[in-house]
Structure 1
Amino acid sequence: MTTTKSRTVYTPVFTDGGEFRIPTFRLLKQDGSLYKGGKAPDINKDKALRIYHAMVTTRVLDERMLGAQRQGRLSFYMQCTGEEASIIGSAAALDDADMIMAQYREQGALAYRGFTIDEFMNQLFGNELDYGKGRQMPVHYGSSKLNYMTISSPLATQIPQATGYAYGQKMAGDGHCTVAYFGEGAASEGDFHAALNMATVHRVPVIFICRNNGYAISTPATEQFAADGVAPRAYGYKMDVIRVDGNDTLAVYQATEAARKLAVEENRPVLIEAMTYRLAAHSSSDDPSGYRSKDEEAVWREKDPILRMYNWLIRQKWWSESEEKELQERLRREVLETMKRAQKRPPPPLDTLITDVYDEVPPALNAQFETLKAHIRKYPDEYPKSAGYVQGGA
Structure 2
Amino acid sequence: MTDEEILSVLRPDGTADPSLDPGLPEPELLSLYRHMVLLRAIDEKAVALQRSGRIGFFVPSSGQEACSIGAGHAVREGDWIFPAYRDHGVGLMRGYPLAALVGQILGNTADATRGRQMPNHWCDRSIRLVSVSSPVATQLPHAVGAAYAAKMRGERVAVLTTFGDGGTSTGDFHAAMNFAGVFRLPVVFFCENNRYAISHPVEHQTASRTLAEKARAYGLPGVRVDGNDVLAVRKVVGDAMNRARAGEGGMLIEAVTYRLGPHSTSDDPTVYRTEEEVAAWRGKDPIRRFAAFLKGRGLLEDPAAEEAGAKESVRRAIEAAEGAPPVPLSSLFEDVYADIPWHLAEQRDSLLPGKG
TM superposition score normalised by structure 1: 0.87
Residue aligning to 1:31: 13
1:57 touches 1:111 (CA, 8 Å); kept in 2? no
2:106 touches 2:321 (CA, 8 Å); kept in 1? yes
Partner of 1:181, secondary structure, is: strand
CA deviation string 1:285-315 (max 9, x = no partner): 0000000000000000010011111111111
1:99 touches 1:148 (CA, 8 Å); kept in 2? yes
Residue aligning to 2:49: 68
Cα distance, 1:78 vs structure 2: 0.8
Distance (Å, rounded) in 1 between the aligned partners of 2:351 and 2:322: 25
Pairing 1:212-223 to 2, within 5 Å after superposition: 212-223=193-204
Residue aligning to 1:334: 313
Point out the more displaced range, 53-62 or 95-104: 95-104
CA deviation string 1:179-224 (max 9, x = no partner): 1100010111100000000111111110000000000000111111
Distance (Å, rounded) in 1 between the aligned partners of 2:123 and 2:286: 25
1:85 touches 1:246 (CA, 8 Å); kept in 2? yes
1:372 partner amino acid:
L
CA deviation string 1:219-263 (max 9, x = no partner): 111111111132111110010111111111111111111111221
Cα distance, 1:110 vs structure 2: 1.4
Q: Find 2:229's aligned residue among 239, 242, 248.
A: 248
CA deviation string 1:344-383 (max 9, x = no partner): 2112232222322233333333333334336xxxxxxxxx
2:81 touches 2:161 (CA, 8 Å); kept in 1? yes
Q: Find 1:197's aligned residue among 170, 173, 178.
A: 178
2:306 partner amino acid:
L
The count of residues paired between Structure 1 and Structure 2 equals 356
Higher RCO (C-alpha under 8 Å, 6+ residues apart)? 2
CA deviation string 1:265-295 (max 9, x = no partner): 1241111010000111000000000000000
Cα distance, 1:39 vs structure 2: 3.0
2:9 touches 2:229 (CA, 8 Å); kept in 1? yes
Partner of 2:144, secondary structure, is: helix
CA deviation string 1:154-197 (max 9, x = no partner): 11110000000011111222311111100010111100000000
Distance (Å, rounded) in 2 between the aligned partners of 1:350 and 1:176: 40
Greater C-alpha Rg: 1
Distance (Å, rounded) in 2 between the aligned partners of 1:97 and 1:309: 29
1:247 touches 1:276 (CA, 8 Å); kept in 2? yes
**1:131 and 2:93 aligned:** no
Partner of 2:212, secondary structure, is: coil
Partner of 2:121, secondary structure, is: coil
Partner of 1:149, secondary structure, is: coil
Distance (Å, rounded) in 2 between the aligned partners of 1:159 and 1:149: 12
Residue aligning to 1:148: 129
**1:372 and 2:351 aligned:** yes
Q: Find 2:167's aligned residue among 178, 186, 204.
A: 186
Distance (Å, rounded) in 2 between the aligned partners of 1:32 and 1:193: 38
2:7 touches 2:224 (CA, 8 Å); kept in 1? yes
1:240 touches 1:268 (CA, 8 Å); kept in 2? no
Residue aligning to 1:382: none
2:168 partner amino acid:
A
Cα distance, 1:138 vs structure 2: 0.9
Distance (Å, rounded) in 1 between the aligned partners of 2:221 and 2:237: 12
Q: Any unmatched runs of 5+ in structure 2?
A: none
Distance (Å, rounded) in 2 between the aligned partners of 1:358 and 1:340: 34
Cα distance, 1:66 vs structure 2: 0.3
Q: Any unmatched runs of 5+ in structure 1?
A: 2-10, 13-21, 375-391
Residue aligning to 1:381: none
Pairing 1:55-94 to 2, within 5 Å after superposition: 55-94=36-75
Cα distance, 1:328 vs structure 2: 1.7
Cα distance, 1:34 vs structure 2: 2.4
Residue aligning to 1:104: 85
Distance (Å, rounded) in 2 between the aligned partners of 1:313 and 1:205: 33
**1:50 and 2:31 aligned:** yes
Aligned-residue sequence identity (percent) comes to 38
Distance (Å, rounded) in 2 between the aligned partners of 1:38 and 1:153: 40
1:142 partner amino acid:
C
Cα distance, 1:327 vs structure 2: 2.2
Distance (Å, rounded) in 1 between the aligned partners of 2:340 and 2:13: 59
Partner of 1:232, secondary structure, is: helix
Q: Find 1:276's aligned residue among 257, 278, 283.
A: 257
Distance (Å, rounded) in 2 between the aligned partners of 1:277 and 1:356: 40
Distance (Å, rounded) in 1 between the aligned partners of 2:94 and 2:343: 41
Distance (Å, rounded) in 2 between the aligned partners of 1:263 and 1:46: 26
Q: CA RMSD in A?
A: 1.6
Distance (Å, rounded) in 2 between the aligned partners of 1:302 and 1:244: 18
